[in-house]
Structure 1
Amino acid sequence: MGSMGSMISEGGADMSRKSALALFGGVFDPVHQGHVDIAFSALAHPGIEKVLWIPCPVIPHHKSPPRAPAEARLEMTRIVCKDVPGFVVEDIEFQRNGPAFTVDTVKSLSDLYPDTLLLWIVGADNASSISQWKSAEELWNHAIPVIAPRPGSLPKSSLQDSEKHYLCREDFPYISEDRWKLFREWTLPAVSQDVSSSQIRHLLANPEESKNPTLSKGLGVPDPVLQYLLQGGWYQQSGSSEGST
């Protein structure tokens, strides 16, 4: 289901004592090959025991609701993770009443995995905003953000760093220097699939713009997921294609 790509860089002295768990949250509306490639690149690292896919029923700050129902998006992640050792679907955000904030999810998982380093995968297009996420200080003292670059994304220059990186030190004044080293050293390779959920939604709603909208190769959607979402019909009707990637 996609190549593993190169390995994640590892940093921090405590990594010799702690295993790591990659947390892959998202709306997944729908799941696409870019998501799969990111998850495989994380799983390729020997220090990571597994990748937890954490579909979100509704993200509070999104302007428009997801096109597919929450249970359908949960099922898409189950289809992708089926028979893949190390891929696990975690429906913790479906068990919560009210909005699903990342900080609450991470705190709950921190209690479940007390001796594990939690890595929260962040798309490069969201990297500049994570220091403003709800309860950011508490969140990033519980988890390490791991940036997943996408084709065409560029890192930013930090005022205090000569190197370019997707995160700036001055945005995280509450993080210790040792922890900041982990922020810098845990990174993902760029995936080759230049695909987004919004692009897929648009092509499914406007099949005349796609050469072959029924083939996963043309859309960048794993075939079992494509068959499931075509049967559901959530994306074939015209509507807003804005939202999650």
Structure 2
Amino acid sequence: MKKVGLFGGTFNPPHIGHLMMANEVYAALDLAEIRFMPNAKPPHKDKLSSTTNAQRLRMVELAIEEIPYFHVETFELDRGGVSYTFDTIKAMREREPLTEFYFIIGGDMIDSLPTWHRIDELMQLVTFVGVKRPGSEAQTSYNVHMVDAPQIDLSSTYIRNRLQQHKANLHFILPKAVEQYIREEGLYGSSDVISSN
């Protein structure tokens, strides 16, 4: 069986916290690869910002382009509609019967597991892998395989706010190619001034 990590999210934008988290899980569980899977319409968030699905997908591609074991999974974007993890995992297992999937979630998502769509059935289909995040309890009665990783208090919301305030220096927070794309596209109210190295 091929062991594949699935990392779902809005990735609006993807940042170094996402990359660190995925890399730690990849190493800890000896996975073949990690697939970053942008949501089409996440059930746990009211709405995305003005970015399009194509723009979010492009940012993920740029964020992971230099890591050979990171890939993009467009399943939920291709399907469209609300992205329920149960439906996604069920369909992906049917598509790839010889793949064992590990679904990566942060501490905040661990806390919310009881509210997930068909969670008890989902637990039978996939192994959940949890990584603690600052400010979350990361405790649940559900079976979640926890991976120790450096905790960084960084969110896409924080980055969007920094960009809206036209703060230039985003070193060590965003991959350089992602920041460049954001500024070229004028996303999140950013300017096209790219911070220098």
With normalisation by structure 1, the TM-score equals 0.71
Amino acid at match of 1:22: G
Please report how far the alpha carbon of residue 152 of structure 1 lies from its aligned counterpart in structure 2 after TM superposition.
4.5
Pick one of 97, 115, 136 that aligns with 2:98: 115
Alignment of 1:227 onto 2:180: yes
Distance between the aligned counterparts of 1:223 and 1:192, measured in 2? Answer: 21
For residues 191 and 214 of structure 1, what CA distance do their matches in structure 2 show?
26
CA–CA distance in structure 1, aligned partners of residues 22 and 31 of structure 2: 11
Answer yes or no: is 1:167 the counterpart of 2:167: no
AA in 1 matched with 2:182: L
Q: Is the counterpart of residue 62 in structure 1 residue 45 in structure 2?
A: yes
Question: What is the count of residue pairs matched by the alignment?
Answer: 190
User: Which string of whole-angstrom CA distances, capped at 9 and with x for unpartnered residues, describes residues 46-78 of structure 1?
Assistant: 631100100012213322333321110001111
Q: Which residue of 1 aligns with 2:147?
A: 188
Q: Which residue among 168, 174, 178 is the counterpart of 1:214?
A: 168
For the 8 Å contact 1:60–1:100, the answer to whether it is kept is yes
**SS of alignment partner, residue 65 of structure 1:** coil
Instruction: Determine if contact 2:110/2:140 at 8 Å carries over to the other structure.
Output: yes
Residue 53 of structure 1: aligned partner:
36
* C-alpha separation in 2, matches of 1:192 and 1:154: 13
Q: Which amino acid aligns with 1:236?
A: G
Report if aligned partners of 1:103, 1:134 keep a CA contact under 8 Å in 2: yes
Identity, % of aligned pairs?
A: 29
Structure 2 CA distance for aligned equivalents of residues 63 and 23 of structure 1: 22
CA contact (8 A) 1:119 1:143 kept: yes
Cα RMSD (Å): 1.9
Q: Distance in 1 between the 2:163 and 2:80 partners?
A: 32
Amino acid at match of 2:170: S
Query: C-alpha distance in 1, partners of 2:44/2:50?
Result: 16
* 1:198 CA drift (Å): 0.6
Contact map agreement 1:151 1:190 (CA 8 A) in 2: no
Residue 77 of structure 1 is matched in structure 2 by 60
Q: How do 1:122-161 and structure 2 match up within 5 A?
A: 122-155=105-138
**Unaligned runs of at least 5 residues, structure 2:** 191-197
CA contact (8 A) 2:24 2:149 kept: no
Q: If the length of structure 2 is used for normalisation, what is the TM-score? A: 0.87
In the alignment, residue 225 of structure 1 is paired with which amino acid?
A: V
Deviations 1:138-165, CA, capped at 9 Å, x for gaps: 211111111111234444xxxxxxxxxx
2:5–2:35 contact (8 Å) kept in structure 1 = yes
CA distance in 2, matches of 1:138, 1:73: 30
Aligned to 1:205: 164
| Partners of 1:111 and 1:83 in 2: CA distance | 30
Return the letter of the residue paired with 1:49. Answer: A
Change (3 A) 1:132 1:153: closer
Compared with structure 1, are the counterparts of its residues 20 and 131 closer, same or farther at alpha carbon in structure 2 (3 Å cutoff)?
farther
